[in-house]
Amino acid sequence: MEDIFGIIMIVIIVIGCCVVLPIMIVWITNKRKAHEIDKQTEILMTLLEKNPDLDPAEVMQKLNVSSKSHKTVKQKLLENLFSGGMMTLMGLAILIPHLCGLVFFGNRENGLFIGGIMMAMGVAFLIHYLVSKKQLRSEIEAEEQRLKEQ
């Protein structure tokens, strides 16, 4: 009887993580985008009611520019570096105690897999940072020149 409950719990967790969670993420993302579009439409309609001689395309362009945060290529790369470093350190923090437990006590726990996966993801972020930094060097320099001019 306990085996059946265990199997049912595993199936529920797998279905929740592999089916329900991605669907909810997509639904929430689409809902947020629809809300942003509704707000922009409401603002545009209000502006056009008050000033009928405004150009709607120009107003929409200004709304889009002001609503989105602008991150430079360098900032995005530094975020990848930070994420990679943090995930690698967290993976090591999980992996090292479990490796010690395996070596000294013979414990076989799932922490080895979790720590290994987190460490691999962190290393992937770090590799992505290094490769992108090398390939996007000219774009980074151009952005820095443009920011200095402003």
3-state SS, the chain, equals CHHHHHHHHHHHHHHHHHHHHHHHHHHHHHHHHHHHHHHHHHHHHHHHHHCCCCCHHHHHHHHHHHHCCCCCHHHHHHHHHHHHHHHHHHHHHHHHHHHHHHHHHCCCCCHHHHHHHHHHHHHHHHHHHHHHHHHCHHHHHHHHHHHHHC
Task: Report pLDDT for 65.
Answer: 57
Distance CA 104, CA 112 (A): 14
Task: Report pLDDT for 122.
Answer: 92
Block means of pLDDT (10 residues each) for the chain, length 150 residues? 82 85 89 89 86 79 63 87 93 85 68 84 92 88 84
Task: Report pLDDT for 121.
Answer: 92
Greatest CA separation for the chain: 78
Task: Report pLDDT for 106.
Answer: 65
Task: Report pLDDT for 74.
Answer: 87
Task: Report pLDDT for 9.
Answer: 85
Task: Report pLDDT for 66.
Answer: 52
Q: In the chain, where are the structural domains located? A: 1-68, 70-150
Say if pTM beats, i.e. exceeds, 0.75.
no
Over residues 118-137, the pLDDT tens digits come to 899 999 999 999 998 888 88
Task: Report pLDDT for 84.
Answer: 92
